[in-house]
Structure 1
């Protein structure tokens, strides 16, 4: 049964890429930005506001963590 489910998941994933409207649209190509694998890399500097922004997942992680070295 598990093998059958893996087969269906793989088949659906293949077809969803083939028919999904976002896959049919031509991506805009920025030839100046470098690639990391199939993704465009963004090496722009973060603003102080972006740096100061807190991530709720990390806030919880830090609250429940302890330092292991100093």
Structure 2
């Protein structure tokens, strides 16, 4: 049984080398340079001021909208 377990562990380790490069994670990658397509990903927390800041486009959108269901 131990030999079978050792064989399976070695086999899984061999297959882990076949993972596509896009699926591998680089531990040393700088968190400030993460990209989603051509856009920089910003995972920083919002301040309360940013959360409560009005967005003029959304204010106009909500003013011209009506609920469709309740």
TM-score normalized by the length of structure 2: 0.48
Larger-gyration structure (1/2): 2
